Each structure stands twice: as C-alpha cells, then as structure tokens.
Amino acid sequence: MTDYRKLFDLTGRKALVLGAASGIGKAAAEALGALGAAVHCADIDLAGAEATAATIRAGGGAADASRADAASGTEIAALVARARNALGRLDIAVTTPGINIRKTILDYEEAEFDRIVALNLKGTFLFFREVGQVMVAQRSGSIIASSSIRASTIEPGLAVYGSTKAAISLLVKGFAAEVGGHGVRVNAIAPSIIETPLTRPIKSRPEIWETYARHTVIGRWGEPSEVGSAVAFLASDAASYISGSTLMVDAGWTAIDGPPTGLTRTS
C-alpha cells in the first residue's frame, strides 16, 4: 500500500524560496520548513528573509537567508549559486515576488510598464533559467512560480499586471515541456484575494474589502498559509504527476460569474 503520509514529507529536501520576507513567499518557506525541507530564504528585504529563516529554525527546522533582487539576472544567478553551495543541491525552487501599479492602460507610463514586466515576468524567466540549469543537471526538482486569478479574470486597472500573470502561466507550460524529460516539474499557483502586504491598502476600504470577499464562494479573504500549503503540495511527491499546471487557490473566484446569490436548496 502507498504510504501517503510519506508523499507529503519533505524531510531531507533542499529548497530555495525567493520572496520569503513576507506574504505568500514567507508562508511558502515556512510550510516547506515545517514539512522537513532545509530552506534558503531570499528577498530584496534581507531583514525580512532573515526573520522568516529564524521562524523556521525556531520551529525545529533548518534555514538560512540572503538578499537578492528578483528583477536582476546577475543577482538571481548569484543567489542560485549561493543556495546550491549552501544546501548541496536544489530539490525545490519557489519564486513569488510581484508588483502591481493599478492604472488604466491610457494612464500607464512606459517606465511603469517596464517595471511591472521586469519583476513579474522577466524575473520569473530569470529564476527559471538559473534553477532549471541546476535541476536539469541533477535530473530532478520541482519549480513553482506565482501566477494569479488575474491571468484569466480582470478588472479595470489590472490589465498590465494580469498580462504578466497570464504570461507566467504560459511560461510554466513551456518550461515544463522543455525540462520534463530531465525529471524536473514546473507549476504555478494562482491565488485570488489573499491578505498580504500587496493587498493591505484594500483593507482600509471596507466596502471594497467586503465586495471582494463576497465574490468567493466561501465569503472571505484567504490567508498566506492557505497558499503556502498549496506550494508545499506541488513541491512534494504527492504532486509527482503534476507538471505544466497552474493550481487555482481562489476559493471559487474563477468558478462563478458574479457573487454567490445565497440561494438555498429546495426539495
């Protein structure tokens, strides 16, 4: 009989998480560490990455930290080399950094467009390229990127951000096809409304906060840990037959067109 508990166990695995200082990246690093992986926590916010590593160690796990700018090819290459040297190999690689400037296309400045694409899309590409080389050489590994429900559902002011997230999902498919024969899996998570620093400004506007909550089928915002758990699943052997996929972690946001009506079942 299959040992299903063992499928989720990450004991002995070596993980790199870029974006580990806060939000979903922090939760992903903590989830991987709690399940037994040794985690290298990286972020442009070094103090935040170090705090996440300290939390993992306090829970009995193994973790260290370093600084890296997710939009810099030079820094990502140095980070991957540093993490591989520290850990000995890379079994799991997660990248979550992303930014949004909420503006209509007519109001977008070219520099703003370049900034979003450079971090969200190009940064993901650079991360894939560097960790992919390590994993292809060792003929195993799981890579996980961060897409969004905005890859498929949109609202005014999110077209540029959503376009980068849609591109990430396609990048995942393409890269999965290229490295699958080398034992490497590539997937993404696509969260909906999660309480992170990126969404914190919305909380100051209760009417919008509640409107978004009512758009999910369970009527609430998600916690970073709920996305971190999905990352841990994709990293584990429990997801050994999943590659090239984007896992929706959206509480049904993309399953319905409009808010739930509250209709009750009748016999």
Active site residues: 161
d(CA 83, CA 256): 41
Q: Which residues pair with 93 in a beta bridge?
A: 16, 143
CA neighbor of 30 nearest in space, from 22, 148, 8, 242: 22
In the block, which residue shows the tokens 């016999």?
267
List CB contacts of 98: < 8 A, sequence separation 6 or more.
119, 120, 146, 148, 161, 164, 165, 198
Helices 23-34 & 224-235 angle (0-180, nearest 10): 50
Q: Which amino acid is at 140?
A: S
Residue 74: burial class (beta carbons within 10 Å; 0-12, 13-18, 19+): exposed
Q: Decide the pairing of beta strands 14-18 and 141-146.
A: unpaired
Q: Which two tokens stand for residue 47?
A: 């103090």
d(CA 157, CA 180): 36
Q: Which amino acid is at 179?
A: V
Q: How far is CA 5 from CA 11, 37, 56, 91, 238, in A?
A: 12, 15, 21, 19, 9
CB 181 within 8 A of CB 139: no
